[in-house]
Structure 1
Amino acid sequence: MHITARVDYAVRTLLELAAAGEGPAKAESLARAQAIPHKFLEAVLADLRRGGLVRSRRGPEGGYWLARPADEISIADIIRTVEGPLASVRGERPEDVAYAGAAEKLRDVWIAVRVNLRAVLEEVSLADVVSGDLPDFVGELIADPGAWSRRTVRPASYGLDHPS
């Protein structure tokens, strides 16, 4: 999975808003807190507002705040808002692609990849990350030494034991 700068900035921005609580936060302070270019952040915040994840108000008392509680916003929600589906193949949903011959079962692999992405990204909320209290299965996944290597040869059951 390739995590774009746009996704990274969106998640970090929403984590700052979750940590800030109820009151509005200025874009400038969010950009400064996470070392995000201000112009880029403004575009990301516009996407997040259109996607219903943040609210905003103009003026001296204005700023941005979460549109719903942090425990109701998953990392998957953020990715979908700024980039679209969690997994796609040439811009199509995995279930919509078809292959012939030796590649016939490749669609099943892409669907399995999506299931595993969902198993983590839909279950981890902003509140989990801010509190540092990640779901137990995340700890189990990262406890595997293979998780930290650039290339894993062990076909671990990452996410398969966790319902999606």
Structure 2
Amino acid sequence: MLSQRARYALKALLNLARADRPSQQVGNISDQENIPRKFLETIMSDLRRAGLVTSQRGSGGGYRLARPADRIMFADIIRVTDGPISMLPCVSRNFYEQCEDCSNEEICALRKIFAEVRTAVADILDHRSLADALLLERPEKTVPSKASV
């Protein structure tokens, strides 16, 4: 399940992607997206350290996307906020760990099934960007399905 932290991060970055100003202050994002300000400050700091946003201090300051919205994928954001996308540590591509209770990964049925789940989920999240999500907010535009890409 997607954590509240990841949901807030996604909402905040979508806010930045659709903003008509070069940068947004945390208070504005917090108000517009109904995200607790202190929690959002922590999330934005993590996103800055991960290179997804940049920040500038001062009266005209705030946060902005570190790269274009079509180059920030949902998987990038979720991995920063929640860590692995996979449901089992033994099938994670980026955060692999052997399961403590597993005697043989080669024959583990759970590992085989959840590897398929990880691949399907990662395939979607690795190829869907903030820009794709913004298109979904406009009914006249559509995002191409994987089959047509």
Aligned to 2:41: 42
| Letter in structure 1 aligned against 2:91 | P
Aligned to 1:31: 30
Equivalences for residues 133-144 of structure 1 within 5 A: 133-137=142-146
| Letter in structure 2 aligned against 1:42 | E
- TM-score (normalizing by structure 1): 0.75
Q: Give identity over the alignment, percent.
A: 38
Is 1:109 the counterpart of 2:109? The answer is no
Runs of at least 5 residues in structure 1 that lack an aligned partner in the other structure: 138-160
Cα distance between partner residues in 1 of 2:90 and 2:21: 37
* Aligned partner of residue 8 in structure 1, secondary structure: helix
Runs of at least 5 residues in structure 2 that lack an aligned partner in the other structure: 137-141
Change (3 A) 1:123 1:116: same
Contact 2:90 2:111 (8 Å CA) reproduced? no
* Aligned partner of residue 118 in structure 1, secondary structure: helix
Aligned to 2:98: 97
Is 1:54 the counterpart of 2:53? The answer is yes
Aligned to 1:68: 67
* Aligned partner of residue 86 in structure 1, secondary structure: coil
Cα distance between partner residues in 1 of 2:32 and 2:132: 19
Aligned to 1:142: none
Compute the RMSD of aligned alpha carbons. 2.2
Aligned to 1:126: 130
| Structure showing greater relative contact order (alpha-carbon pairs closer than 8 Å, 6 or more residues apart) | 2
| Letter in structure 2 aligned against 1:94 | V
- TM-score (normalizing by structure 2): 0.82
Aligned to 2:11: 12
Ranges of 4+ aligned residues in structure 1 off by more than 6 Å: none
| Aligned positions, number | 136
Change (3 A) 1:80 1:162: farther
